[in-house]
Amino acid sequence: MVTGFCHRAAVSACSLCVAGLLALTPAAAAAGPRAGEPAPPRPPATTPGPSLLYRSGVQVRPHRGTPAPPEVSALSWLVADSGSGEVLAANDAHRELPPASTLKTLFALTVLPGLPGGQQHTVRYEELADVGEGSSLVGVEEGHTYQVADLWRGVFLSSGNDAVHVLARLNGGWEHTARRMQDKARSLGALDTHVVSPDGYDAPGQVSSAYDLAVFGRAGLHNPDFARYCATAEALFPGDGSSYPIENTNRLLTGEDGVAPYPGLIGIKNGYTSNAGNTLVAAARRGGRTLVVTVLNPQDGGGLTVYEEARALLDWGFAAAGQVDPVGSLDGLRPPSRTPVSAKPVAAAVAPDDEGSDWSGTAVVAGLTGLGAGAVALALRAKGGRSARD
């Protein structure tokens, strides 16, 4: 329409304009740029509205020649660029599913800023009385005094629901924390999440989605404490008389149980319940780019399938980055008054930028007072692995 209008105006105005327009005819355009002239730039990709991510099935917009995402069995998954927030591909991104302990990402986002890591607290009986049966535990004991930082390591490494209960009490109580988590989710544009139990323990009506959990994971990487805790592979936890080693239950980080550690992995959080199945939010950095992937409840294989499907999606994401147009944005549902997440996560310092690195994620070892990292690893192997599973 615009070209036709200009042509008519030019005909009535001056023959010079007509000559200029003749040079822009479809035939001339099809011939391409003249010799020595650069090719016209590719139009910038536009990020579609959130509706595309609400569609069922795999959503991806590949350029010609770009391989399709791998076929995985998870009920829902998503791959996004942490820096830009662009979603590279997803499958049923907004499907509401029980999150298990991946909900601890939202718990940490909500509670971490208000509790100094050096603060000390003596645990009372009532703080542990309501820990759900069968919960993963780090070994918090009544009457023992802990630093808040110790409790956070118990949350991130051992997925300790006992540590979550104590921290929630310090934050104002269980119900208060659940309400604050709900408010935090809404402020981030995570509209699928309904919080009932802040530790992720199965509860009627408690759900999240691959989209929301990626939002939480991405936001967490911009918090220095969150980023450090989620990347910690091994630590010491205070016990009765002496500390004992704990290890992160994220096998992509530690390489335990026959799962090869993923190069450049940063974290973030894994989970499991009989209702939720295996769930995982992970992030990795390669070639200056950080990707976030969410995998919820794989239907094939055993309990380790979630890691291999996350590995396949991360590999595809790094290979396809720049070769697909985004299908959505992790900022797409954020209230307009909220500032989008900044482009550079602090967690970029946790993993190296070069693809050739042999980074396994196990370089981050915390709480080694009086005991070296090698001794921690030996003690973990002697103990048979981790103190709690998730």
pLDDT digit string, tens, across residues 1-46:
333 333 333 333 333 333 333 333 333 333 334 444 444 444 445 5
245 is written with which tokens? 């080693």
Asked if 247 and 385 touch (Cβ cutoff 8 Å), the reply is: yes
Alpha carbon distance 354, 285 (integer Å): 9
CB within 8 Å of 23: residues ≥ 6 apart: none
The 10s digit of each residue's pLDDT in 343-376 is: 556 654 444 443 333 333 333 445 443 334 433 3
Q: Degrees (nearest 5) of the Cα angle 355, 361, 363?
A: 110
Q: Degrees (nearest 5) of the Cα angle 380, 385, 390?
A: 135
Averaged pLDDT, 256-278: 97
The 10s digit of each residue's pLDDT in 272-304 is: 999 999 999 999 999 999 999 999 999 999 999
Q: Quick check: helix, strand or coil at residue 80?
A: strand
Phi, psi of 291 (to 5 degrees): -110, 145
Q: How far is CA 242 from CA 268, 369, 370, 371, in A?
A: 28, 11, 11, 11
Q: Degrees (nearest 5) of the Cα angle 258, 386, 149?
A: 125
Look up the pTM and report it. Answer: 0.80
CB within 8 Å of 196: residues ≥ 6 apart: 178, 203, 204, 205, 206
Phi, psi of 71 (to 5 degrees): -80, 120
Distance, C-alpha 96 to centroid of its chain: 17
**Catalytic residue list:** 101, 104, 159
Beta bridge partners of residue 289, listed in sequence order? 286
Q: Quick check: helix, strand or coil at residue 162?
A: helix
